[in-house]
Amino acid sequence: MTIYYDEARIYVRGGKGGDGMVHFRREKYVPRGGPDGGDGGRGGSVYLEADPGQNTLSAFRHRQRFIAEDGAPGGPAHRHGRKGRDLIIKVPLGTIVRDATTGEVIADLSEPGQRVLVARGGRGGLGNVHFATATNQAPTMAQRGEPGEERWLDLELKLLADAGLIGFPNAGKSTFLAAVTAAKPKIAPYPFTTLVPNLGVVDVGDFSFVLADIPGLIEGAHTGAGLGHEFLRHIERTRVLIHILDASGQEGRDPLHDFEVVNQELAAFSPELAAKPQIVAANKMDLPEARANWPRIKAELERRGYKVFPISAATGEGVQEVINEVARMLKELPPPPPLVEGARVEPVVHPDHFVIERDGEIWRVHGRSAERAAAMTDPDNPEALLWLEQRLRRLGVTQALEEAGIQPGDTVVIGPLEFTWGWVEEKRPAPGKKAKTE
């Protein structure tokens, strides 16, 4: 059995930035050349890109983790590390990208080649050349590379079709699609033959449109019965609905009751779906039962304001008239707007915002800039710890902790770094002396 994958959850992480280098220029006749450690390269970023060649999310069935390349470390003589390669993940057109934690819609990838950044690579750490000052001309510290952004994403595929075929299973939708396009859907005389959406291009003179044959709808579909959610999700973007109605009633069902059930399910799932323009194709007119039911079907549905066409998808009778009417309607209707106006290219961040939480004698600081500074600090290097202390003061973290009542000996956790409050005075060198290095 073919399984159509239209939902997936993936983990993405940008590459870690390369570490900066501690190095001093040492050449003949240049005994004190000074620091020349280079910067690390930025880690690669992760992008999602809409690819017309993809039609399902099955590629993510066996692979869920996507991590971009790390940046290379800095080198001597001011040499910068190489930037990590970006990772581009191809997804089908019509893929909705959401943050799995917040549910926020990040992008609606509805145009070929449209690309969105989903995990930025970490910045490369600065080499020791950047930390030379008038009072410290031989710095022994360099920054570590910043970790890349990471997140879980939910992907949902919604077909990009202009018109969609709706109706009960075995009403003749696949036969209709095969009759008007070059698509070759599976056709058989039993329900749920179509388990995956099929797309075909319909040409009407110099105008063409995309038609989707989607798995059939049954009573209770809006609650997930049958193939309900899979069906309903894929007709949300169509602009015209072609309701294929089994006019023969051969399976013991009343055609008008079938019509009611399908439209009730549309309305229960989404009022917007029920409001879409809809024309009715009363199918199987090659059968005497359908001919007998036709006057009753035509009178009732026209009374409700629907355009009704008698057709036989098997013989081709009346099919062209339906297609001509759909083409006329599509020319007059506006294109569907995307769920998100344009893909977000750069995440919005507030670098200096932070939050302090207290749990007994443990203080946790949450904030992009503070956590980034901690992650890029070597906890075994006294000079690096002093640099972090100065950075925290500039961000206002130190003052906020003191005002909150932190005491020497309390534990502070910032990102991956855990330390005891009061370490600054322990690590600070005596006046007139350089910090001791290990």
The rounded distance, in Å, linking the Cα atoms of 361 and 413 is 11
Q: What is the CATH number of the domain that holds 318?
A: 3.40.50.300
The answer to whether residues 150 and 169 belong to one domain is: no
Residue 343: inside a domain, yes or no? no
Q: How many domains does the chain have?
A: 3
Tokens of 48: 């999602």
Residue 434: inside a domain, yes or no? no
Closest CA to 7 of 90, 91, 84: 91
The answer to whether residues 224 and 368 belong to one domain is: no
Residue 10: inside a domain, yes or no? yes
pLDDT of residue 203: 81
Residue 67: inside a domain, yes or no? yes
> CB atoms < 10 A from the CB of 2, how many?
9
Cβ within 8 Å of residue 160, ≥6 positions away: 93, 94, 110, 210, 237
The answer to whether residues 192 and 319 belong to one domain is: yes
CA neighbours closer than 13 Å in the CB half-sphere of residue 260: 7
Residue 264: inside a domain, yes or no? yes
Bridge partners of 357, per DSSP, are 364
Residue 347: inside a domain, yes or no? no
Q: What is the CATH number of the domain that holds 136?
A: 2.70.210.12
pLDDT of residue 193: 36
The answer to whether residues 409 and 289 belong to one domain is: no
The answer to whether residues 290 and 220 belong to one domain is: yes
The answer to whether residues 26 and 130 belong to one domain is: yes
The rounded distance, in Å, linking the Cα atoms of 149 and 111 is 26
Q: What pLDDT tens digit does each residue of the chain (438 aa) get?
A: 233 447 889 999 999 999 999 999 887 776 667 899 999 999 999 999 998 777 678 788 889 999 999 999 999 989 999 999 999 999 988 888 999 999 888 988 888 889 999 999 999 999 999 998 888 888 989 999 999 999 999 998 876 678 888 888 778 888 888 888 754 433 334 333 334 566 777 888 888 787 877 665 443 433 443 343 455 566 677 889 999 999 998 777 899 998 998 888 788 877 777 888 999 999 999 999 999 999 999 999 999 999 999 999 889 999 999 999 999 999 998 876 665 555 444 444 445 678 889 888 899 999 888 988 999 998 888 888 888 888 899 888 999 898 888 888 889 999 888 988 875 554 444 444 444 433
Residue 350: inside a domain, yes or no? no
Show the domain range for 147.
1-157
pTM of whole model > 0.75? no
Cβ-contact 195, 285 below 8 angstroms? no
pLDDT of residue 90: 94
Strands ordered across the beta sheet of 355-359:
355-359, 362-366, 411-414, 417-420
Residue 128: inside a domain, yes or no? yes
The residue from 157, 187, 220 where one domain ends is 157
Closest CA to 174 of 147, 192, 158: 192
Closest CA to 328 of 402, 244, 240: 240
Identity of the amino acid at 64: Q
The answer to whether residues 15 and 112 belong to one domain is: yes
The residue from 116, 142, 157 where one domain ends is 157
Closest CA to 97 of 347, 336, 368: 347
The answer to whether residues 191 and 285 belong to one domain is: yes
> CB atoms < 10 A from the CB of 291, how many?
14
pLDDT of residue 151: 95
pLDDT of residue 190: 37
Bridge partners of 90, per DSSP, are 49
pLDDT of residue 267: 81
